[in-house]
Amino acid sequence: MIDRRLVTNFDWTLIGLVSIICLMGIMNIYSASAAYKLVGAPYYIKQINWMVFGLLISLVVASLDYHILEDFAYWFYCVLIILLIAVLLIGKTSLGATRWLNLGLFTIQPSELVKIGIIITFARFFNNYHTVEGLTVKDMLFPLGILAVPALLIMKQPDLGTAILVVLIALSMAFYVGFRWSTIVAFVLVTLPLAWFTWAVYMKPYQKSRVLNFLDPDRSRLGSGYHIIQSKIAVGSGGFFGKGYVQGTQSQLRFLPEQHTDFAFSVFAEEWGFAGTLILIILYLCLILWGLNIARRCNDRLGGLLAVGVTAMLFWHTVINIGMVIGLFPVVGVPLPFFSYGGTSMITSMVGVGILQSISMRRFMF
Amino acid sequence: MIKTQRYVRELEQPRRRTILLAFAVAVLFGVLLLRLWYLQVIKVDEYRAMSENNRLRFLPVTASRGALMDRNGVVLVNNRPAFSLTIIPQEVEDIEKTLDRLASLLKLDRVELGEKWQKAKGRARYYPVVVAVNLSREQVEIVEENRLRLPGVEVAMKPVRQYAFKTSAAHLLGYIGEISDKELEQPDYADFNPGDYVGKNGIEKAWEQELHGADGGRQLEVDSRGRVLRVLSESSPTVGNSLVLTIDQRLQQISEQAFGSQAGAAVVMNVTNGEILAFASNPVFDPALFAGRIPPDVWKGYLEDKRRPLENKALTGQYPPGSTYKIITALAGLEAGVINEHTTVQCGGDYEMGKSKFRCWKSSGHGAVNLRKSLKESCDVYYYWLGEKIGVDRIAAMAERFHLGKELGIGLQYEKKGLIPTMAWKLKRFSKKWLPGETLPVAIGQGYVLMTPLQMASMISTVANEGTIYRPHLVKRVVDQDGKTIREFAPEALGSTGISSALFKKIKQGLFAVVNETAGTGGSARLWDYKVAGKTGTSQVVKLGEDRKKALKYEHRDHGLFVAFAPYDKPEIAVAVVVEHGGGGGAVAAPIAGRILRGYFDLQKPPAATPPSAETPVRETEAVEQPLESSRPPQPSTPHERGDNRD
């Protein structure tokens, strides 16, 4: 039933890299939540479950020929838009943002699905859109429209972090297809005033204050700037060799916010030092370069596009999360794939891995 | 062949671009590594020192909220210290156990404690979370005794609002409550924290920025066991500023009590500057209850009372002004030159227009009616005739000159605009043409016309001062905690009607007759020592046939209205009274206005000689059976005489 070639071509490098990062993440979550007093299963146990579940999902996705994604790309897109609108109308609100949708049996976060959705939609569009000289501004109008609808709906929730990610993933894929220089210039000329407008008109006070706190953390030592300062203290005090596993004072005394989720990297950096972060970053680098390699050696335009999209998703998550906790970017609430605690992020990332695996396994078939 | 080449290029180009992407990825990761190198290797000593000293704790000190005082400096709202129960998340070992213990020791609701705690999740860990307010002395003692068993639990002192006159002026003053999630997102509240108390209504809300002050606090460094090592920084709270209102508390209470159990509103305004002396809405509610959790039965009672105690009727109640609006119609007629004081109309009890018949309130008719008599006896036929002559738009133009149909800008939330109908308005609102027959009810203040009690007071005040519309205001001064004036508010004229004084005089003569002459509809507002001028009004809530005066359901009964000013020769104050579903204005609203005016003049002077005995006014219309204030000698009517409050 299963083609033998699929088994022989199974991409062990991909699964290996992902598994190593996941295991390091679980080990780190154990330390990060060691100070918590919890009811129910500890976070690291739950994360092990998520990892196993995620790997299974990735295998299921990998077993499917990724070409079927092309067939229902636009349907999937439409369903996502409906879900996003539903979230705004009847979604569950927590901490001032409406992101969840209750489907009776379980709740879903449609904005998370959009990351995969935009990859598939863009892949389908560019697969049938041939260009050799590079994309013109006119070529970009339709894809930008497709992108703008979900991005704006997600911003409305408001979930700035996810909206930015979706845009970055889509633009990375368009870059892979190729731009003309004139397109890039036009893009810059439009984006800068738009960014100014967003700042001046659209952004809510708390979002502005996050950006301002990022630019000058001392502005509000006790407010939201607190997170950045405490995170930097954690990372910096780790030194070259770190304070030792479960020995980080910042994390064990719980000065860090969200330390098992968005700020998990800070805990790791404090306890394992530069030596540890170097290894972890190299692992991520390998994973992402491997993703690009899958795209490169794929003999099929659709596969290349999908692989670049998934890789871009993992890449931007990684860069933004680490950049955030070490004070390079504002705090936007983006998890570190495979490393931060959380089922949603794990499932989304593992679906991506499944797509990569599917492409990688079938590289000789096309 | 060419096609194949193109295909290969299409495949090869992106392939080469993956190499480019790989470089970009490597560069960005390089930046991350450089930054990590900088933080972890170059700056390690600095951050290590910071992490070792990093045992910060913050003890907030809530700023005391500014007081509200009346025009004579009598404190209306102030603070009293109250104890609240706080928990420092960082210090708690087992939160569930701690909350269980607190609930059983202090007899508090366990669920509520849990909810409060949940709400504060996600905030800085050294910042105390308030889980209960208004602890009693005994509860505070119990916490202190059990300190060792309750790590992380602290008793904090937080000022709580105290209302010196209980429910008096509740609508005007407003109340405070915990800041909502929605408010936290608004730019006005950018500096506020969850758990802060802010004004939710009335003056408390409108003047939040002035009253709130700035919270202070101490940032402490503690060792790993929580002992204080040193105070890193300290900022003392800035007490909020206080407000001196234009209200006279004694007059406010007189106004409220004058209503008895009836629902309604009264606005008393200084005609020379727009200061509001009393702003009453009845029934009242207890603002103190809103700071905590309102007892459900009380809340239910407020909601189910058909007199709607939570509503500030003086500000948000919109009523057809009824016959008080005849002042506007008459002025429009005078200004247009359609009538003068001698113009006479025959009233036979009704007025025919086309096929319709419009009735006068007096079915037997008023006979020959001139302007003075039309006001005095409130003849409807006179105004039906006048309304038909001048048309709805000229009436509306006159109302507009009085700033009716728009906000006066008193500076409180939810101020209502009322409604002054015009032909254009109807076309826009209903997409239908104005029918001539619709003008007639408008001429007597029925139909579409709506006004708030505040607007009625402003209207009669403008008549009294013969043309100046002042912005009604409630705050005289902002003072700091030592009573030093920070800002003072000068009267502000919104405009002038541009009507000659002579025309106003003609109207005023009619208004004088309403109160002081035989057959005047407002006799029950008469005072023995001061000349009062006014106008009654009865606004229909439902139109019915002959039996409309008989026992109707409460919600369907007429509103009684009365607007007045005094003294007639040199006006000082204007009063507007609306009694919801009370019946005729002369019977229910005029006596209340009389009592308020009586109160005002009594407060102006120290207790004086007894009045002349003879004066017993004759009342014929809409007779009122209850004894009138006007027949009594002046007495100090409130216990706290504070001397002359004339400005």
d(Cα B622, Cα B635) in Å, to the nearest integer?
28
d(Cα B294, Cα B230) in Å, to the nearest integer?
41
d(Cα B621, Cα B507) in Å, to the nearest integer?
21
Asked whether residue B280 falls in the same domain as residue B194, the answer is no
Q: Which residues of B touch A308 (CB under 8 A)?
A: 14, 18, 21
Grouping H, G, I as helix, E, B as strand and the rest as coil, residue B72 is coil
For residue B337, the model assigns a pLDDT of 92
Mark which residues 1-30 of B lie under 8 Å from A by CB: 6, 9-11, 13-15, 17-19, 21-22, 25-26, 28-29
User: B307 lies in a domain?
Assistant: no
Asked whether residue B466 falls in the same domain as residue B432, the answer is yes
CB within 8 Å: B55 and A253: yes
Residue B26 has φ and ψ, to the nearest 5°, of: -60, -40
For residue A20, the model assigns a pLDDT of 96
Asked whether residue B407 falls in the same domain as residue B474, the answer is yes
Asked whether residue B234 falls in the same domain as residue B358, the answer is no
Q: Could you list the residue range(s) of the whole structural domain that residue A167 is in?
A: 4-361
Asked whether residue B272 falls in the same domain as residue B384, the answer is yes
Q: Identify the weakest region by mean pLDDT among A2-16, A110-124, B149-163, B610-624.
A: B610-624
User: A39 lies in a domain?
Assistant: yes
pLDDT score of B120 more than 60: yes
**Do B320 and B447 touch, CB atoms closer than 8 A?**
yes
Domains of chain B: total: 3
Asked whether residue B77 falls in the same domain as residue B124, the answer is yes
B311-330 pLDDT tens trace? 999 999 999 999 999 999 99
Tokens of A288: 């992402």
Among all chains, which residue has been given the structure tokens 């008096």? B168
Between residues B162 and B640, the one the model is more confident about: B162
State yes or no: cis peptide before A158, omega within 30 of 0: yes
d(Cα B398, Cα B404) in Å, to the nearest integer?
9
For residue A213, the model assigns a pLDDT of 59
Asked whether residue B222 falls in the same domain as residue B280, the answer is no
d(Cα B492, Cα B250) in Å, to the nearest integer?
25
Among all chains, which residue has been given the structure tokens 């049938």? A128
For residue A96, the model assigns a pLDDT of 56
Average pLDDT over residues B446-455: 94
Asked whether residue B97 falls in the same domain as residue B191, the answer is yes
A116-174 pLDDT tens trace? 999 999 999 998 887 777 888 888 889 999 999 999 998 887 787 888 899 999 999 99
Strands, sheet with A92-94, edge to edge from the N-terminal-most edge strand: A92-94, A97-102, A107-108
For residue B569, the model assigns a pLDDT of 94
Q: Does A250 contact chain B (CB < 8 Å)?
A: yes
Nearest CB to A236 within list B14, B39, B94: B39
For residue B640, the model assigns a pLDDT of 41
**Do B322 and B342 touch, CB atoms closer than 8 A?**
no
Nearest-CA residue of chain A relative to B181? A96
User: A243 lies in a domain?
Assistant: yes
Nearest-CA residue of chain B relative to A227? B124
Mark which residues 42-81 of A lie under 8 Å from B by CB: none
pLDDT score of A249 more than 80: no
User: A366 lies in a domain?
Assistant: no
Average pLDDT over residues B339-358: 90
Distance of CA B430 to the CA centre of its chain: 31
Distance of CA B480 to the CA centre of its chain: 24
Q: Does B40 contact chain A (CB < 8 Å)?
A: yes
Average pLDDT over residues B605-609: 59
For residue B149, the model assigns a pLDDT of 79
Question: Where is mean pLDDT largest: B49-58, B137-146, B180-189?
Answer: B137-146
**Do A160 and A205 touch, CB atoms closer than 8 A?**
no
pLDDT score of B647 more than 60: no
User: A36 lies in a domain?
Assistant: yes
For residue B86, the model assigns a pLDDT of 85
**Do B287 and B298 touch, CB atoms closer than 8 A?**
no
Band (A337; pLDDT cuts 50, 70, 90): very high
Among all chains, which residue has been given the structure tokens 């092990």? A48
Domains of chain A: total: 1
Percent of chain B with pLDDT over 70: 85
For residue B632, the model assigns a pLDDT of 41
Distance of CA B101 to the CA centre of its chain: 43
Percent of chain B with pLDDT over 90: 50
Distance from CA of A250 to the nearest CA of B (A): 7
Band (B36; pLDDT cuts 50, 70, 90): very high
Asked whether residue B29 falls in the same domain as residue B120, the answer is no
CB within 8 Å: B55 and A295: no
**Residue tagged active-site, from B323, B378, B461, B524:** B323
A265-305 pLDDT tens trace? 999 999 999 999 999 999 999 999 999 999 998 888 899 99
Q: Could you list the residue range(s) of the whole structural domain that residue B32 is in?
A: 2-52
Q: Does A274 contact chain B (CB < 8 Å)?
A: yes
Band (A95; pLDDT cuts 50, 70, 90): low
Q: Does A206 contact chain B (CB < 8 Å)?
A: yes
Question: Where is mean pLDDT largest: A88-97, B82-91, B230-239, B528-537?
Answer: B528-537
d(Cα A18, Cα A355) in Å, to the nearest integer?
14
d(Cα B285, Cα B171) in Å, to the nearest integer?
8
Mean pLDDT of chain B: 84
For residue B613, the model assigns a pLDDT of 44
User: B135 lies in a domain?
Assistant: yes
Residue B334 has φ and ψ, to the nearest 5°, of: -65, -45
Q: Identify the weakest region by mean pLDDT among A253-257, B289-293, B339-343.
A: A253-257
End-of-domain residue from the set B52, B76, B92: B52
Asked whether residue B467 falls in the same domain as residue B567, the answer is yes
- What is the domain-level CATH number for residue B193? 3.90.1310.10
Cβ neighbours for B460, distance < 8 A, ≥ 6 positions apart:
B324, B327, B534, B535, B563, B564, B565, B574, B575, B576
Q: Which residues of B touch A280 (CB under 8 A)?
A: none
CB within 8 Å: A172 and B46: no
Nearest-CA residue of chain B relative to A271? B40
User: A8 lies in a domain?
Assistant: yes
Q: Bridge partners of B56?
A: B221
As a dihedral over the C-alpha atoms of residue A72, residue A74, residue A75, residue A78, rounded to 10 degrees, the angle is 160
User: A346 lies in a domain?
Assistant: yes
d(Cα B234, Cα B483) in Å, to the nearest integer?
26
Mark which residues 121-150 of A lie under 8 Å from B by CB: 130-132
Secondary-structure percent of chain B, ordered helix, strand, coil, rounded to 5: 40, 20, 40
Angle at B433 between CA B432 and CA B434, to 5 degrees: 120
Between residues B82 and A99, the one the model is more confident about: B82
pLDDT score of B69 more than 80: yes
User: B643 lies in a domain?
Assistant: no
Percent of chain A with pLDDT over 70: 86
Q: Identify the weakest region by mean pLDDT among B199-208, B345-354, B621-630.
A: B621-630
- Sign for the CA dihedral angle at A103, A105, A110, A113 comes to negative
Band (A225; pLDDT cuts 50, 70, 90): low
Mark which residues 327-356 of A lie under 8 Å from B by CB: 327-328
B180 is an active site residue: no
Asked whether residue B368 falls in the same domain as residue B265, the answer is yes
End-of-domain residue from the set B19, B35, B52: B52
Asked whether residue B185 falls in the same domain as residue B290, the answer is no
pLDDT score of B635 more than 50: no
State yes or no: cis peptide before B567, omega within 30 of 0: yes
B362-389 pLDDT tens trace? 889 899 999 999 999 999 999 999 999 9
Between residues B457 and A330, the one the model is more confident about: B457
CB within 8 Å: A289 and B25: yes
